[in-house]
Structure 1
Amino acid sequence: MTQALEEARFDPASGEAVWIEEDYCSPPLAMERTEVLDDYFEDITIVEEDVEETAGWQQISDFPGLWKQVLDDVQR
């Protein structure tokens, strides 16, 4: 989870944070939401696609880094 969030991206078209997380929980990210995600994110949408993790990251690789976007927004 830490690595996925460190590498999270910002989707300029939707204004959403996006990342790839391989998860086997049911429901997905149940433990992660309870422990940390619900403290920082609202309306988490889980897109369940049968995509290999590396391929998923490649799909969002052109998006800017989330944390750069957050810092830019704070500094404005």
Structure 2
Amino acid sequence: MAYRFVRAQPLRQRLPELRERIESGEIEQMEPFGQAMMKALQNARFDPETGEAVWIEEDYCTPPLAMERAEVLDEYFEGISIVDENVDEADGWERIENLPGLWDQILDTA
């Protein structure tokens, strides 16, 4: 499986809408990437040093996250970058586990 370590600047004013789309199940139902994207975004972290959202996402697109960006991510994030195109999923999440949750940080200040 291919996992990507992702960093992106959240568009804070848009994230409540994204959260609603996640909670309603809309994101999860998107084929073929919905379940992986939902898991990644639900568990996304916030890097207070850079103000970026960070997450690990299962992805098989070339270029990375092509479908996800076109359908969802570009509406809610800018400056999306793939820090590591082939990260071990567990190791990737471990690298960011001490960061605060994205939703706890962003929704409180949106």
Q: TM-score, normalised by structure 2?
A: 0.64
Which consecutive aligned stretches of 4+ in structure 1 deviate over 6 angstroms post-superposition? none
Q: Which runs of 5+ in 2 are unaligned?
A: 1-36
Counterparts of 1:1-76 in structure 2, within 5 Å, are 1-74=37-110
Identity %: 66
1:11-54 Cα offsets, whole Å, 9 max, x none, are: 01111000001222110000000000001001101112542101
The total of aligned residue pairs comes to 74
Looking at structure 1, the residues matched to 72 and 87 of structure 2 have their Cα atoms a distance apart, in angstroms, of: 25
The structure with the greater share of residues assigned to strand is 2
Supply the RMSD in Å over aligned alpha carbons: 1.1
The amino acid across from 1:16 in the alignment is E
Looking at structure 2, the residues matched to 72 and 38 of structure 1 have their Cα atoms a distance apart, in angstroms, of: 22
Q: TM-score, normalised by structure 1?
A: 0.90
Query: What SS does the aligned partner of 1:72 have?
Result: helix
